[in-house]
Structure 1
Amino acid sequence: MASQFSTIPTPVPNLEPYTLHVPEKDLSELQQLLNLSKIGPTTWWNQHNDVRFGVSREWLSKAKETWLSSFNWRKHEAYINSFPNFKIPIKDPEAGLIEIHFAALLSKKEDAVPVIFLHGYPGSFVEFLPMMQLLVDKYTPETLPFHVIVPSLPDYGLSGGFGGNVEMTLDRAARAMNQLMVDLGFGEGYIAQGGDLGSMLARIMSVQYDECKAFHVNMLVLNPEETVPLMDNLTPAEQQHLDRTNTWRETGFAYALEHGTRPSTIGLVVSSNPLALLAWVGEKLLEWVDPREPLPLDTILSMVSLYWFTSTFPRGLYHAELVKNFLSGKPHPISKEKPLGYSLFPYDLALLPHAWAKQIYPNLVLFRTHLKGGHFASLEQPGVFLEDVEEFVGSVGGLFKTG
């Protein structure tokens, strides 16, 4: 049972167990708003099941009906609560106390390596629960080789943030995640793992914090000043991956420009109505996965429901800082000294071929290319994702040896 993995190695002040329970009034309000939400008229674009145009009217109509008639939030809530969950206030130099939520599997091994798993947009900590279940099935608290810390990022999900008094940024979010690990007693060192926004936070942590000893990502993008190696180093599959990325940049980047340039407007619009949220976030949960193994509608509705109940969308738009940096040519920090691992899933949005990664990052100690999977790697392919993490932790474990 996952509850056996709930003992923190060192007592931590103000750490409290947490149980998620959405009030019945919130569930009723969601039903009422959905009932009153209007599906827009048929147009030439929305009657085609073509991802270039976004979600179709047919999909949105069916998803709405399922959300109303048969979706069971309490089932997903119970699944979340089957894992140890905690909340802890951490101190930030600008915002004061920030309440951070995290799910965890805590080992009783003295040499267990702490690993923080950082989700992205439009995801949440629940992306890592299938991986956590695999660990529960495979290990006991006495044999688990690493501590698994899976936070809701600042201003995402069940975590708090700066409360609107100070703008949340990538640097501030990374600072909070580092402080979380320090406050949990892992100040001697930890590994950061992330995809999408989480990969950028892991990169920042690798540069700015000595406590971050190594980092593993499942999204790796070039910085503006980095020279692309020769194209003839690419395999046919890698060239296909890059062609798909270029197509996405031409046809699927509009949301990011909106988030990056008008976060107030889009935050207010999308958070005003659950059907709007379903269309806006659901589009990504449909498009950004491996089309051969799409996410079940029940999973999509659970992820959108968590966004709705926690008001995540308008709070978490600081990921769009990536867009502003991209447009201005500003590089994203990344260590070229600390050990780096990279897992490439073929249907992610941005990919870095092996020859390029090997040339640009002399600190690359693990590179794995997978045949399946997309942007939500730990959710889509939890087994191979976990294998990569375990191999990476094993390869850098010497950094955590004492004595």
Structure 2
Amino acid sequence: MFEEPPLPTLDPNPWWGPGERQEDNVAVTQFKINVPEKDLKDLKDRLSLPLRLTPALEGTNFTYGFNSDTLSRIITYWIKNYDWRKRETKLNKYPHYKTQIEGLDMYFLRAAANVGVRKDVKVVPLLLVHGWPGSVVEFYGILPLLTTPREGSNVVFEVICPSIPGYGFSQGSSKPGLGTLQTAQIFLKLMKRLGYDQFYIQGGDWGSFIVTEMAILYPQNILGVHVNMVSMMTTTQRLKIWLGSLLPTGLVFSEGDKPHHHYPLSDFFALLMQETGYLHIQATKPDTIGTALDQSPVALAAYILEKFSTGTNLDNLHKPDGGLLSKDYPISIDSILDNICVYWFTGTITTSVRFYSENVNKNLENRPTNQIGVRVPSGLSMFIKDIALLPESIVKHKYLDIVTYRFHDIGGHFAAMECPDLLAADLHEFSTAVENRD
């Protein structure tokens, strides 16, 4: 319906580090997470300061933001029960590395494939990309399911999990302009440096943007792309959603395929306004909010935990604990605190939220790749509690070669942490189908 624009042209060798361009140190060196004792003491001292919390309004639960009573309980748990050194040992289960790319010290972990006695499986490389407010911590539950053989699958993955520049242990840019397109180029260079000329890619949240950009820019290097969130949309997709809101069922969508999550559109846009205030702040004034969060681990915890509450289920807004302390909450508090600690100890909350300014505030909706279809084999997993939820009849206008599309009636935004078995099964099914193509 609409003519695709040409691929954007990127500087093939930019310098995002401080100062003038230098030669990259291309060595790949092993890295161990080992937070200094002085940093642990500093964290404990800050957490032990008297809390200055305003009592929540009666009966509001999480509808005004993070409930102060719940925050007090979580901070008490953090001080008395959470043991970073034990968690650090867990995080060091996989080998970690750093290498310099385009002036930045880029971090990644590597989870090796374990074929065992199986002789009928193929080891394939997989680049696994996180989002915000996540980190590689998101993937510790799913990695064992990807790196070992699975019934019905004839592939097993060698997994590379990098941190986005400015997140966790990856250095942030010293210069403006590093967004998802530029990150896609950095990650391609990383995989090639590790010896992978062709590989699979998977992502959610910002990760879905980055891997989709990679599939568009470098189709010759991508064996297949899998995402568990779709936000990059063509004009055709937007037009179809709009028409579907006006016309009777059956003309644009069948009853079973109608994107009910978006209708009525007025409710959907009201929901977006309610739940994306953070995005507008981070897209416009990232250093202001970053500075505030970097001064207090309590503030950082409230800011990130609130996203884990609504990201897993919007109904959590109406629970006194935001669902976070419920027995059926799908993610352990320790795992979320691991993620928060990565941001705290690396001091990267400001550089992470700058990613919104580089993308959302720099014409995210008008970038040329929005109107370019993904032609590599694609797999999509939709989890019912995620805010970005689209039927196959919509996503097929962006992902032009859909191999698998799976809709799950459980799970939300943090699928790798909430439903690792389902997401792993989808990835195995998708890659097996691609590998078995004639």
Alpha-carbon deviation of 1:182? 0.7
* Counterparts of residues 351-362 of structure 1 (less than 5 Å): 351-362=389-400
Work out whether residues 28 and 98 of structure 2, in 8 Å CA contact, stay in contact via their aligned partners in 1.
Answer: yes
Alignment of 1:281 onto 2:304: yes
Work out whether residues 148 and 157 of structure 2, in 8 Å CA contact, stay in contact via their aligned partners in 1.
Answer: no
Which residue of 2 is the match for residue 392 of structure 1? 430
State the identity as a percent: 31
SS at match of 1:112: strand
Which residue of 2 is the match for residue 346 of structure 1? 384
Q: 1:263-319 CA distances to partner (integer Å, 9 max, x unpaired)?
A: 121111111111110111111011101456343322222211111011121111243
Which residue of 1 is the match for residue 261 of structure 2? 241
Q: 2:207 aligns with which of 176, 182, 198?
A: 198
Higher share in helix: 1
Give the unaligned 5+ runs of structure 1: 1-11
Alignment of 1:77 onto 2:88: yes
Which residue of 2 is the match for residue 27 of structure 1? 40
SS at match of 2:110: strand
Q: 1:310 aligns with which of 336, 340, 346?
A: 346
Using the TM superposition, name which of 318-327 and 20-29 deviates more. Answer: 318-327
Which residue of 1 is the match for residue 225 of structure 2? 215
- TM-score of the aligned structures, taking structure 1 as reference length: 0.85
Q: 1:100 aligns with which of 106, 131, 134?
A: 106
Alpha-carbon deviation of 1:386? 0.4
SS at match of 1:78: helix
Which residue of 2 is the match for residue 255 of structure 1? 278
Which residue of 2 is the match for residue 149 of structure 1? 160
Which residue of 2 is the match for residue 49 of structure 1? 61
Alpha-carbon deviation of 1:362? 2.7
Alignment of 1:295 onto 2:306: no
Using the TM superposition, name which of 168-177 and 290-299 deviates more. Answer: 290-299
SS at match of 1:265: helix
Alpha-carbon deviation of 1:239? 4.5
Alpha-carbon deviation of 1:220? 0.7
Q: 1:166-211 CA distances to partner (integer Å, 9 max, x unpaired)?
A: 4432222121111100100012x11211000000001111112232
Number of equivalences: 377
2:162 and 2:140 map into 1 onto residues whose CA distance is: 11
Q: Which amino acid aligns with 2:341?
A: S
Work out whether residues 75 and 298 of structure 2, in 8 Å CA contact, stay in contact via their aligned partners in 1.
Answer: yes
Q: Which amino acid aligns with 1:241?
A: H
Alpha-carbon deviation of 1:40? 2.4
2:336 and 2:169 map into 1 onto residues whose CA distance is: 18
Which residue of 2 is the match for residue 8 of structure 1? none
Alpha-carbon deviation of 1:103? 1.5
Alignment of 1:370 onto 2:408: yes
Alignment of 1:228 onto 2:240: yes
Q: Which amino acid aligns with 1:21?
A: N
Is the alpha carbon distance of 1:327 and 1:361 closer, same or farther for their aligned partners in structure 2, counting shifts above 3 Å? closer
Q: 1:182 aligns with which of 192, 199, 211?
A: 192
Is the alpha carbon distance of 1:219 and 1:40 closer, same or farther for their aligned partners in structure 2, counting shifts above 3 Å? same
1:345 and 1:281 map into 2 onto residues whose CA distance is: 21
2:98 and 2:398 map into 1 onto residues whose CA distance is: 39
Is the alpha carbon distance of 1:234 and 1:32 closer, same or farther for their aligned partners in structure 2, counting shifts above 3 Å? farther
Which residue of 1 is the match for residue 8 of structure 2? none
